Chain A
Amino acid sequence: MEEGRAGDKGDGLLKRLFGMGSWGENSRKTVTFGDAGAVTGGRVYSVFAVLFLFVLWFVSSAYQWVNPIFWPSPLAVWEQFVDILFTGYRRFTLWEHIGWSLYRILLGFGFGCLVGIPLGFAMGLSNVVRGICDPVVEFFRPIPPLAFIPLVIIWSGIGERSKILLLFLAALWIMAIAARSGVSSVRLSKIHAAYSLGASKFQVLRYVILPNALPEIFIGMRVAMGVCWGTVVAAELVAAESGVGFMIMAASRFMTTDVVVLGIVIIGLIGYGIDILMRILENYLVPWKGKG
């Protein structure tokens, strides 16, 4: 007779939710609580969760549980979406708002990488540069980029330059630290092997240190992209004439909550999309990550 595992029956819902009980999965493992390998899926539940949230949204607005001024119906948000997509909001279509936001982070992030990665390399390779830059980088790193908004506005006004400068500062420290740690993580035997195979210092840098650091640089890029996306939206809330952040800020002044919610949904989706894109790029460009 096939018997269930001990404790299968009579597990309370709370116990099961925290993984201490069984959902009746067909596994021969007797130890699952604490086994990280046993908690990998759950995709079915993701679909249910998303569906549930949507249904809740539909039902709550259909029955007007909340005043639409505070929380719009999904239909209203959809209509705004179609409207803004084609006719635009505040002189720009939705695509243009998204485009402006993306343009800003790509420039700011790009400059951040351009300066931060070589800086991190120098910090990982030279005692002098490490000594000089370490206190600076470690000081600026924990400061939220938003704290620089007043300063960059004083420096370069409310135009594009100030936002790109802000994003540059947001990405710079992250990239410098990622590159530094990538350089420092190279195993000495690889460096020794390369020199013994006749590589010059430049060749060791180009063919050993750089590829060895790439996975960590990529992790830094993923983090920096996330931070930049959050920062650009916030910067647009403060001062801008375009962008997704500007769109929701402007809408809130007129209590057009449906545009605000639409903006929030778009911000979430794009942030999620950026992370997925970076992961795909990572798998494609640095497949050797963690395989050393």
Chain B
Amino acid sequence: MAGKSRFYWRTEDLVVVGLFAALAKVVSLAIALVGGGMNPFTLFLKNGVSTALLVVLVARVGRFGVLSLQLFVTHMVSLLMFGGGMISFLPALAIAILCDGAIALFGGYRRLAAVIAGVAMYDLLLRGVSIGMSMLSARENAGMVMMAAVMIVPGYFGCLLVGLPFGAKFVKELRHAGIVRNV
């Protein structure tokens, strides 16, 4: 007898996405405060934690378009709060939609392996957007672009070595605890 909502996104999904966006911001800030912003290890850990949170978010919501929604919300936050990120918004959104499609293709949101593959791809491609943005804003100085490219490496290692395996592990644990039920 459950009433059918007229919306694709349930209130619960939207609230979880908003809360995880807030959590990711606070955790990144906390890690940067402890270790210093541009420290490679801080970048490694910060990205690891953010990716682990993203995996949990995707597994919890478990609906097509969750990566796009998450990207949309985090970009809207930067857009509205800092008035920046206009140019990177569209390519990043396209990547998120592509990765949502990839998850669906790899077996859907109920398969943890598909979620992990989708998030790994998403993280990698978003880094491409970051380099693209650096190329645009520092196009006269190859050195600065190179520096930006180098800076994203520890972050991606954090994502691969910490974020994805731990994200998968935590999803399994949260499923065992009855908190995540989709995967």
A, B: real partners? no
Residues of B within 8 A of A (CB): none
